[in-house]
Amino acid sequence: MNMFLKSAIALALVAAALPNYCVAVQKENERGRVATQIKFEEVARQAEAARDANKFEQAANLYRIAVRARPNWAEGWGYLASSLYQLNRFGEARDAYRQTTVLTPKNAPSWAFLGLCEYELREYRQAFDYLCK
């Protein structure tokens, strides 16, 4: 069998198997998305329970995981920020409140707490600007 014929047969075999491979990959991706969704929901539920129990360190850690999984989850950023604020970790809280204000620019409490974080960090001019928004 010449080299051209061998290559043509190999190519035909790959082409025949490709649709099944693509379906398998698609199903695997869908399972991964479902697993990620379930994991996110579980982490978010645990974070809420920790926050409700005033376990702010645990809540902050869980919210951090959740917002990594869903960076556009404004509510999660807000809860992360408020948990950090409760722990007097004002620099980290400021960063989380900044993200909250990016995602929800009309959320007045986020701007106010961002200003309070800046005040605690002795950034008085910036605090005043945020508190006036």
CATH assignment at residue 85:
1.25.40.10
User: Rounded to an integer, what distance in angstroms lies between the CA atom of residue 23 and that of residue 26?
Assistant: 5
Confidence band, pLDDT 50/70/90 cuts, at residue 83? very high
Question: How confident is the prediction for the chain on average, in pLDDT?
Answer: 83
Overall domain count for the chain: 1
Per the structure, the complete domain to which residue 111 belongs is given by 8-131
Weakest mean pLDDT among 16-25, 35-44, 94-103, 109-118: 16-25
Q: Which residue has the tokens 């698609």?
A: 26
Residue 35 lies in a domain: yes
Q: Quick one: pLDDT at residue 133? A: 82
Residue 1 lies in a domain: no
Are the CB atoms for 40 and 65 separated by under 8 Å?
A: no
Q: Quick one: pLDDT at residue 90? A: 98
Residue 115 lies in a domain: yes
Look at the pTM and tell me if it is higher than 0.75: no
Does the pLDDT value for residue 89 go beyond 70? yes
Does the pLDDT value for residue 52 go beyond 80? yes
Are the CB atoms for 73 and 92 separated by under 8 Å?
A: no
Sequence letter at residue 125: R
Residue 13 lies in a domain: yes
Classify each residue of 92-117 as buried b or exposed e, where b means 16 or more C-beta atoms within 10 Å of its C-beta.
bbbbbbbbbbebbeebeebbebbbbb
Q: Quick one: pLDDT at residue 21? A: 45
Note the pLDDT tens digit of each residue in 6-40. Answer: 554 544 444 455 455 444 445 555 544 544 566 99
Residue 2 lies in a domain: no
Residue 122 lies in a domain: yes
Give the burial class of 124: count Cβ atoms within 10 A of its Cβ; 0-12 exposed, 13-18 middle, 19 or more buried.
Answer: exposed
Residue 3 lies in a domain: no
Does the pLDDT value for residue 77 go beyond 80? yes
